[in-house]
Structure 1
Amino acid sequence: MIRRLAIFGAAGDLTARYLLPALVKLHETGRLPGGFQILGIGRNEWDTESYRREIEGRVAELAPELPEASRKAVAGMLEYRRADATRGEEVAQALRPLDEPVAAYLALPPAIFAPVVEALADAGLPEGSRVVIEKPFGEDLESAQRLNRLLHDTFSESAVFRVDHFLAMQTVQNLLGLRFANRVFEPLWNREHIDKVEIVWEETLALEGRASYYDSAGALKDMIQNHLLQLLCLVGMEPPHTLNERDLRDRKVELLRAVRRLSPEEVERNTVRARYSAGRIGDREIPAYADEEGVDPENGTETFAQVTLGVENWRWKGVPFVLRTGKALSADRREILIRFRPVPHLAFGQEGEPLPDALRILLTPERIELEINVNGPGDPFELERTTLEAGLAPHELPAYGHVLLAALEGDSTLSIRADEAEESWRIVEPILQSWAKGRPQLLEYPAGSGGP
């Protein structure tokens, strides 16, 4: 296991909100090796002591449930070094005198990934080092291909971790067990029995001070191109021979290659883009997205995106996959919904057709629900809807704890392979191109509503 972690973007929200709390949890559960060292690299005018005080205070505020002893222990592992991450000589100076492998975590804006990778190459990392890159990987297909070539000039593919923390979420991992370890589901997991699949991540959160990143990305790049397409992979892929790195990622890439690119006419019919106007969510007054600080209204950035895709293979031909995400909505809804086809003949004579069976895989909170029809308590020949549900015990580690542990141990099973990242951009590229031309029209929805 690598014992040196260098976090580029040491002062950022990602570091304080996710990476440091995850490291505290790794320490609490005894998963960090002896002599572990964390280098925080940034451009702030701090020394190590002031950085430790700053970060310990922010972690205590953001994750107060973590034990104080572990928070202080991780703070004691921190060392701050000032450097411009895009300049090779400054990166080399910041990493000295490291003479053993380091995991370089790029907790930085995606726009500077390429110059930072070049700086790491110029700095000459110790043999056996790894680089960890957050999403989105690139800005489009061409930039993702360019970034992959740049990475492969310096690192082997096994040393590159394109992370997506959704893959480390418990209910996402449970998709594998649900599908491939239960005979009751796998024979039904195809076009003959499934009518529609919805993959939804809707939230009441608005911009929350993320304009500098979000206004250049939007909902399609921020959520659908990476997180939701990864969920599509796990829902739709063929059974892997094993769950090792190669077999699992091969199956995911096969599925992505089967997703048909939309024509410009299909983009207009099968996609929706919108942004929120002023409204109210609970006791919060939400300004219109275009009026949020740091937003350029002329960018036409969407805060809601819905895309309906088709998978052109034997298992899924004709089944629509609806990927939907949005901000500042009336309720949080984070789930995968499998809608089954109705039975071919219904002997019950009641008015109105009962709803077909549905399987809900709730991502937060972690729960599985199966909605079915049963005989009602009154007339035995009338049906009523009932839900069988099971809560899932939480993982010992948060998602980012699994992400960091995998990178330190060199387990790339749940990271994104180079061809996988490029295939994801291939799917969304025609959508981005049509949206840039104003097709379909950018709609609006009041904050606190159900969306457009």
Structure 2
Amino acid sequence: MLDTLLIFGASGDLTSRYLMPALARLHQAGQLPARFRIVGLARDAWDTDAFRRHLEQQMAQAPPAILASARAAVLAWTEYRQVDVTDRRQVAEALGGIANPLVAYLALPPALFKPAVEALAAGRLPKGSKLVLEKPFGTDLASAQELNRLLHDTFPEPDVFRLDHFLGKQTVQNILGFRFTNRIFEPLWNTQHIERVEIIWDETLTAAGRASFYDGTGALRDMIQNHLLQLLALIGMEPLQSLNERQLRDRKVDVLRAVRRLSPDEVARCTLRGRYGRGAIGEREILPYIKEGGVDPARRTETFAQVVLVIDNWRWAGVPFLLRTGKALNRDRRVIAIHFKPVPHLAFGQQSQPQPNVLTIELDPDRIGLAINVNAPGELFALDRVELESPCGSGGLPAYARLLLDVLQGDLTLSIRDDEAEESWRIVEPILESWAEDRVPLLEYPAGSAGPPEAEQTVLFGKAS
């Protein structure tokens, strides 16, 4: 296991809110070496004591499950160096005293990935070191391809970790266990029995506090291009021969390659975008998105996105996959819903039509449910609807801790491969182009509502939702 972590852009929010608490959790679980080293690099004019005080203040808000002794331990391992992470000479000097393989974590805006990678390459990382990049991997297909070319020129692909923290969530990993260890579902997991799949990540959270970042990204890039397409790949993939890095990543790429690239007409019919206006969530009055600090209304950035995709392969031909995400909505809803086709014959007659079965995989809180039809109490010819529910195992390490441990151990299973990142951009590229040309109107919905009313009438390739 590697025992040195360099964090580029260490003064940012990612380090204090996610990386340091994750390291404390790993230490608390006995998963880190007894002698571990954390080196923060950033432009801020701090010394190590000032950096530790900053981290200590931020980590005081960490979940109570992390013990104070674990937080103190990782702070004691931490040092700080004022470095322009895009300056090759300064980065080389920062690397000068490190001889053993290390992890270089780019906790940076995507615009700084290229100069930071070039500076790292010039500084000659010790052999066996790992490079970590957070999503998004580029801003479109061309930039993702350019970034991959740069990475290929400077680092071996097995040393590059492209992290999407969704894949570290226990609830997302539960999809694999559910899919491939329950024989009763696999024969039904196809176009013959499934009518549609919905992958929904609705949030009451607004863009406040990160609007300046969000305004250059939008809901489609921020959630659908990466997180929700990862969920689509896990739901849609073929069975694995064994659960290993090559098998899992190959099967995910197979699914993404089979997703149809939408034509301009299909984008107009099967996608929707919106932006929240003034409203209320509970007792909170919410400003319109365009009034948030750092927002440029001229960008016409969407806070709500809904797209319908199809997977052109034998298993899924004709089954629409609806992916939806939005901010400032009336409830938090994070669910995958598998809608099965209705029964082929109504033995109960037209007066008692059974509703199709729906399998739900809730991601936060983690729970699985199955809606089925049964006889109504005391009524032979009447039907009732019941929901079978059970919580799913959500123990173990939190997402960032899980992924950091994988990086330190060199396990690429939950990392995004180069071709996988590019395939995700290939899917959303025609949507981005059509939206940029205003072929799809930017709708407005009140904060605290269910989103644009038009979302309920989205055409699912010939089928209404």
* Deviation at residue 374 of structure 1 after TM alignment: 1.1
Per-residue Cα deviation, 1:189-221 (whole angstroms, up to 9, x for no partner): 000000000011110000131122111110000
**CA–CA distance in structure 2, aligned partners of residues 85 and 378 of structure 1:** 72
Cα pair 2:5 2:37 within 8 Å, conserved: yes
Gaps of 5+ in 2: 453-465
Per-residue Cα deviation, 1:82-118 (whole angstroms, up to 9, x for no partner): 1111111111222330101111111111121111111
* 1:264 alignment partner in structure 2: 264
Cα pair 2:259 2:312 within 8 Å, conserved: yes
Cα pair 2:200 2:324 within 8 Å, conserved: yes
* 1:109 alignment partner in structure 2: 109
Q: Could you tell me the TM-score, scaled by structure 1's length?
A: 0.98
Cα pair 2:9 2:106 within 8 Å, conserved: yes
**CA–CA distance in structure 1, aligned partners of residues 286 and 205 of structure 2:** 10
* 2:409 alignment partner in structure 1: 409
Is 1:440 the equivalent of 2:440?
A: yes
* Deviation at residue 350 of structure 1 after TM alignment: 6.3
Is 1:125 the equivalent of 2:110?
A: no
Amino acid at match of 1:411: D
* 1:175 alignment partner in structure 2: 175
Is 1:330 the equivalent of 2:330?
A: yes
**CA–CA distance in structure 2, aligned partners of residues 396 and 247 of structure 1:** 24
Is 1:166 the equivalent of 2:166?
A: yes
Question: Which has the higher mean CA deviation after the structures are superposed, 352-361 or 339-348?
Answer: 352-361
Is 1:19 the equivalent of 2:19?
A: yes
**CA–CA distance in structure 1, aligned partners of residues 265 and 321 of structure 2:** 18
**Structure 1 moving runs of 4+ over 4 Å:** none
Cα pair 2:199 2:231 within 8 Å, conserved: yes
Is 1:7 the equivalent of 2:7?
A: yes
Q: Could you tell me the TM-score, scaled by structure 2's length?
A: 0.96
Cα pair 2:352 2:382 within 8 Å, conserved: no
Gaps of 5+ in 1: none
Cα pair 2:180 2:186 within 8 Å, conserved: yes
Amino acid at match of 1:192: Q
Amino acid at match of 1:209: G
**CA–CA distance in structure 2, aligned partners of residues 155 and 331 of structure 1:** 43
1:403 counterpart SS class: helix
* 1:56 alignment partner in structure 2: 56
* 1:252 alignment partner in structure 2: 252
Amino acid at match of 2:417: R
1:61 counterpart SS class: coil
* 1:357 alignment partner in structure 2: 357
CA RMSD across the alignment: 1.1
* 2:319 alignment partner in structure 1: 319
* Deviation at residue 380 of structure 1 after TM alignment: 3.1
**CA–CA distance in structure 1, aligned partners of residues 61 and 400 of structure 2:** 18
**CA–CA distance in structure 2, aligned partners of residues 282 and 74 of structure 1:** 39
Amino acid at match of 2:39: L
* 2:197 alignment partner in structure 1: 197
**CA–CA distance in structure 1, aligned partners of residues 20 and 411 of structure 2:** 20
1:93 counterpart SS class: helix
Amino acid at match of 2:247: D
**CA–CA distance in structure 2, aligned partners of residues 131 and 283 of structure 1:** 45
**CA–CA distance in structure 1, aligned partners of residues 245 and 222 of structure 2:** 25
Question: Which has the higher mean CA deviation after the structures are superposed, 347-356 or 264-273?
Answer: 347-356
* 1:138 alignment partner in structure 2: 138
**CA–CA distance in structure 2, aligned partners of residues 355 and 43 of structure 1:** 60
**CA–CA distance in structure 2, aligned partners of residues 15 and 439 of structure 1:** 39
**CA–CA distance in structure 2, aligned partners of residues 20 and 343 of structure 1:** 52
* Deviation at residue 79 of structure 1 after TM alignment: 0.7
Cα pair 1:350 1:382 within 8 Å, conserved: no
Q: Give the paired residue count.
A: 452
* 1:154 alignment partner in structure 2: 154
Amino acid at match of 1:201: W
Question: Which has the higher mean CA deviation after the structures are superposed, 57-66 or 326-335?
Answer: 57-66
* Deviation at residue 236 of structure 1 after TM alignment: 0.3
Distance 1:258 1:267, change over 3 A: same
What is the correspondence of 1:417-432 to structure 2 with a 5 Å cutoff?
A: 417-432=417-432
**CA–CA distance in structure 2, aligned partners of residues 67 and 392 of structure 1:** 25
1:424 counterpart SS class: helix
Cα pair 1:88 1:119 within 8 Å, conserved: yes
Cα pair 1:82 1:94 within 8 Å, conserved: no
Q: Identity of counterpart residues, as a percentage?
A: 62
Amino acid at match of 1:280: A
Amino acid at match of 1:259: V
* 2:376 alignment partner in structure 1: 376
